[in-house]
Chains A and B, each alone.
Chain A
Amino acid sequence: MVKKIGIIVNPVAGMGGRVGLKGSDGEDILEKAIQLGAIPECPNKAVVGLCQIKEYKGEILEIYTYPNEMGEDEVRAAGLNPIVIGKIESGNTKSADTTKAANDMYDIGVDLILFAGGDGTARNILDVVGEKIPVLGIPGGCKIHSAVYAINPKSAGKVVVKYLEGKVKNLKESEVMDIDEDAFRDGILKARLYGYMKVPNENKLVQNMKSGSAPGEDAALDFVSRYIAFSLEKDVLYIMGSGSTVRGVMDKLGIKNTLLGVDLIYNNQLIANDVNEYTILTYLGKYNKAKIIITVIGGQGYLFGRGNQQLSPKVIRKVGIENIIIISTKNKMNSLFGKPLLVDTGDEELNDELNGYAEVIVGFGESVMFKVVS
């Protein structure tokens, strides 16, 4: 069997960072970046990652990529021979080129897309492939809030090789997040959860002979969502936050849910999907008791203020801090090790009240205490 990999490089990703532009999405910004003397960093990082692919020892590997700086140059620089598809206007690539490349590679039926870029690049690819084929990002952009990236270019290449060789089989749903660049440049940090893509999950940490068996990440997610689903109280309005862990709870109850939005349930019945702040507040007026169930969003460890702005200070105050239930998995919490959980509700006073320690439920009757700061 021939293995196929698609390579997409966003040649201009990462240009904004060094010159203080917080991202390079949008053509005028890019122009500004170039005027300010930004040099493309993403291609170099891509080459570092691609060099690892030479270590591949599996069956025949076909490498599909886009012309020139969108992959061809980098693949060749890494000493590999690509099959070049598509067309671009060299020196003037746009986000539509990324989308087109992803689309072409999807049509060809590649086993995985390895891309280099930042959060914007990840979003473009998400729009095309969603969870249909695995991807992995080489961190090359200046905004890396999404969890679809390897920790560095080299390990991205290594993980991909292992995946193609069949040595890594697990795929993990990982968040694609992005911040609103316009607002960010004005000093306002607004992040959104755009969706999930599947990335190879190299769980190297667990292969030792002493600790015995451990449930996999899927099972861990299953344990915690099942535990929560069966411990929901009667006559309480549950405000279900965004993210796949909370979705797991809704799935267990057989309730339609919004992955990227907030849903309301009551006595195991759906009240409303994808509600905004106003709707939440309206329903809070109708029910006596309410609780919020949220998960930790992204690699940064945000509880509030990233991807769930509907849960506004007003909503949180109305529900009461003591009625916030945080759920996650052990692995996810350990990946945050040494970092506290973050809250950014936009209300300094509320942030202060949320600071301290929070209990995060991570399994069937298992929880961890984590520090919370703003």
Chain B
Amino acid sequence: MTKKRNIVYPYIPNSVPEIKREMLDELGMDSVEDIYKEIPDRLRFKGKMNLPAPILSEARLQRHVEKVLSKNNNCKGYISFLGGGTWNHYVPAVCDTIGGRDEILTSYVGEAFSDHGKFQILFESSSMLGDLTGFDACNTPTYDWANAIAIVSRMASRTTGRKEILVSEVTGPERKLVNQNYCKPDINVVEIKFDYENMCLDLDDLRSKISDKTACVYFENPSYLGFIETQAEEIVKIAHEKGALVAVGVDPTSLGVLEAPGDYGADYALGELQPLGIHMSYGGGLGGFIACRDEAKFVAEYPSLLFGVLPTTRKGEYGFGQVAFERTSYGSREKGKDFIGTCSALHGMVAAVYLALMGPQGMIDLGSGIMQRVDYAKKELAKISGIKIYEGFNFKEFVVNFDDYGLLVNEINNKLLQRSIFGGIDLSEDFSVLGNSALYAITEMLTKEDIDELVNALKEIQ
């Protein structure tokens, strides 16, 4: 134990003993105990917290944290084929600059007149997501894609007054879990079968399960397994005939080349913001969005903050405010709305910067380039004996089957790891129907050389 020092902490200006003394004198108090006296002795923590010794200087602290982090290996050093909910895309330097500006990074609630910039950036973010998805309404960010599904389940249930949600079986497994937990106890989640022959939703199963109790049909396009849903309009038709709504989960990077859900009749589009200029950060880069029809019966059900633009009291000035503040429930009038709070606003702001940089041509180039690389990888991998590729239209991800390869996916991944390659996500547990398979993701970050390296490695380790 070192003896008590009077440390002046750079982040605590009034830790200077003289200043503290001066303030206590002003208050007529001897010590801070004159304030804590309101806490009965029996509730006080008597011991000393057993915490690691402090590292007071930034220089040593930086060294310490960097040393711990150096035990990691990252997707810049390794060739990564991991996806499934977080993807390795390029983060433009401009995104880091804006996302790191103290003005917005350290802002919080604020009001539109003094935090005007934050509101405008979030409005622009919603606007661009609306353009991508084909909707006129979009919220401020939710926690993540999974959270967006859960919110839409409840929104659709209120709008329709119905208590059942049909969800495609091939939805991200983690997303399914989150949605199931949020729908408890009153909303029933039923899975729709996936047609693994044709790699699309099983419409017969959908028809057999949909009824006038169904609030909403949710499917992902592309699906979790990377397949583009070719029957989207048909699904919309089946759902609407029963008075059910349709929500489509999308990867926003696909929408330069794939049709916008709003334009094939869906009622909601939702998805993940992380691919739009946000670092993966070990799963901390997530943020969700929900776009929907700009009609009161949909908009009124958002639990989220909704920022709208209108002219201010000064001519030629944009101002922002909360749209439909008192949202009454049009459908089943259950208790109020879901709870909301601090979600992922910063990621929504960074997504705005990303989409502004990319522009329409950037999104088209990104989408078509990814599809080309994926197709190339599929073709090359299919040439390897023991490897089978599930056919279908894939966007960023595809399923590689190793049933006849002689090694389990985790064994393969271990061997790839030795060659500084992160192999695809092991599907053998969550999708046992696909056998010994893995989900491979390819983004614009990978070159032909990287793909060839994977192909060679898989040839060699067999």
A248 CA to B302 CA, complexed, in Å: 26
A66 at the interface (CB under 8 A from B): no
- The segment from A15-23, A207-215, A266-274 found at the interface with B is A207-215
Partner of A209, one of B302, B305, B341: B305
Once the chains bind, are A209 and B112 in contact (CB under 8 Å)?
A: yes
User: Which of A94-102, A174-182, A320-328, A360-368 lies at the interface with chain B?
Assistant: A360-368
Q: Are B305 and A219 in contact (CB under 8 A)?
A: no
Known: A222-B333, A363-B336. A215 touches B111 (CB 8 A): no
Residues of A contacting B303 in the complex (Cβ-Cβ under 8 angstroms): 212-213
Contact B109 A215 (CB under 8 A): no
A214–B326 alpha-carbon span in the complex (Å): 5
Docked pose: A212 CA to B334 CA in angstroms: 17
What residues of chain A lie closer than 8 Å to B304, measured between beta carbons?
212
- Report the minimal beta-carbon distance from A224 to chain B, rounded to whole angstroms: 10
B314-341 interface code vs A (CB 8 A; 1 in, 0 out): 0000000010111111000111110011
Task: Find out whether the CB atom of A364 lies under 8 angstroms from the CB atom of B325.
Answer: no
Interface residues contributed by chain B, number (CB under 8 Å): 22
Distance of B335 from chain A, by nearest CB (Å): 4
Across the interface, do B336 and A214 meet the contact criterion of CB distance under 8 Å?
yes
- A210 near B109 with CB under 8 A, answer yes
8 Å CB contact of B328 from A203, A210, A215: A215
Residues of B with C-beta under 8 A to A214 = 325-327, 336-337
The listed residue (A206, A207, A209, A365) touching B335 by CB distance below 8 A is A365
Chain A contact residues, majority secondary structure: loop
Contact partners of A3 in chain B: CB under 8 A = none
Closest to A207 in B: B325
Q: At the interface, yes or no: A347 with Cβ under 8 Å from chain B?
A: no
Q: B110 in the interface, Cβ–Cβ < 8 Å?
A: yes
Contact of A218 with B by CB under 8 A: yes
Taking a contact as CB atoms under 8 Å apart, the answer to whether A213 and B326 are in contact is: yes
Query: B337: which of A207, A213, A216, A218 is its contact (CB, 8 Å)?
Result: A213
| Residue A238 is within 8 A (CB to CB) of chain B in the complex | no
- Asked whether, in the complex, the Cβ of B335 is within 8 Å of the Cβ of A223, the reply is yes
A331 to chain B, nearest CB (A): 11
Asked if B333 contacts A206 (CB within 8 A), the reply is no
In Å, the complex CA distance between A366 and B112 comes to 32
Question: Which chain A residues numbered 214 to 262 have a C-beta less than 8 Å away from chain B?
Answer: 214-216, 218-219, 222-223, 226
**Are B328 and A219 neighbours in the complex by a CB distance under 8 Å?**
yes
**Identity of the chain B residue whose Cβ is nearest the Cβ of A210 in the assembled complex:** B109
Residues facing A in B402-428 (CB within 8 A) are none
A206 near B326 with CB under 8 A, answer yes
Q: Which residues of the other chain, A, contact B326 by a CB distance below 8 angstroms?
A: 203, 206, 213-216, 219
Closest chain-A Cβ to B397's Cβ sits at a distance in Å of: 35
Binary A-proximity of B109-153 (CB < 8 A = 1, otherwise 0): 111100000000000000000000000000000000000000000
Indicate if the CB atoms of B335 and A212 lie closer than 8 Å. Answer: no
Let me know if B333 and A212 touch, CB within 8 A: no
Residues of B within 8 A of A215 (CB): 326-329, 336-337
Kindly identify, within residues 163 to 212 of chain A, every residue whose CB is under 8 Å from any CB belonging to chain B. Answer: 203, 206-210, 212
**Distance A215 CA – B335 CA, assembled complex (angstroms):** 9
Q: Are A213 and B110 in contact (CB under 8 A)?
A: no
Q: A214-B336, A223-B335 are in contact. Are A206 and B327 (CB under 8 A)?
A: no
Q: Residue of B at shortest CB range from A222?
A: B333
Contacts of A366 in B (CB 8 A): 335
Q: Indicate if the CB atoms of A223 and B305 lie closer than 8 Å.
A: no
Interface centre among A203, A213, A215, A365 (most CB of B within 10 A): A213
With the chains together, A309 CA to B91 CA distance in Å?
72
Select which of A207, A209, A223, A365 is within 8 A of B333 by beta carbon. A223
Tell me the bound Cα distance from A363 to B335 in angstroms. Answer: 7
Instruction: Tell whether, in the assembled complex, residue B322 and residue A364 are in contact, meaning their CB atoms are under 8 Å apart.
Output: no
Bound complex: CA A218 to CA B329 (Å): 11
CB distance A209 to B337 under 8 Å?
Answer: no
Q: Is the CB of B328 within 8 A of A218?
A: yes
List the A side residues contacting B341 at CB < 8 Å.
212
Interface centre among A218, A222, A223, A366 (most CB of B within 10 A): A223
A206: chain B residues at CB < 8 Å are 325-326
Contact with B along A3-30 (1 / 0, CB 8 A): 0000000000000000000000000000
Bound-state Cα–Cα, A325 to B340, Å: 31
Chain A residues closer than 8 Å to B337, beta-carbon distance: 212-215
B329 touches A213 (CB 8 A): no
Cβ–Cβ contact A216 & B328, under 8 A: yes
CB nearest neighbor in B for A225? B333
Q: Is the CB of B333 within 8 A of A219?
A: yes
CB distance from B159 to the nearest CB of A (A): 14
The distance in angstroms between the C-alpha atoms of A223 and B326, with both chains bound, is 14
User: Which B residues touch A203, using CB under 8 A?
Assistant: 326
Of the candidates A213, A226, A363, the one whose C-beta lies within 8 Å of that of B325 is A213
CB B77 to nearest CB in A, in angstroms, measures 41
Residue of A nearest to B307 (CB): A209
CB-defined contacts of A216 to chain B, threshold 8 Å: 326, 328
Q: B54-110: which have CB < 8 Å to A?
A: 109-110
Q: How far is the CA of A223 from the CA of B334 in the complex (A)?
A: 7
Q: Are B334 and A364 in contact (CB under 8 A)?
A: yes
Q: Which B residue's beta carbon lies closest to that of A211?
A: B340
Instruction: Tell me if B328 and A207 are in contact (CB < 8 A).
Output: no
**Contact sample, A vs B, 7 pairs, CB 8 Å cutoff:** A207-B322, A213-B324, A213-B327, A213-B340, A215-B326, A216-B328, A223-B335
**Interface contacts beyond A218-B328, A364-B335: sample of 5 additional A-B pairs, CB < 8 Å, sorted by A:** A206-B326, A209-B322, A213-B327, A214-B326, A222-B328
Query: B residues bordering A, Cβ < 8 Å?
Result: 109-112, 302-305, 322, 324-329, 333-337, 340-341
Partner-B contacts on A (CB < 8 A): 203, 206-210, 212-216, 218-219, 222-223, 226, 363-366
Which 9 interchain pairs have the tightest Cβ spacing?
A: A364-B335, A216-B326, A219-B328, A213-B327, A212-B340, A210-B109, A215-B336, A213-B337, A216-B328
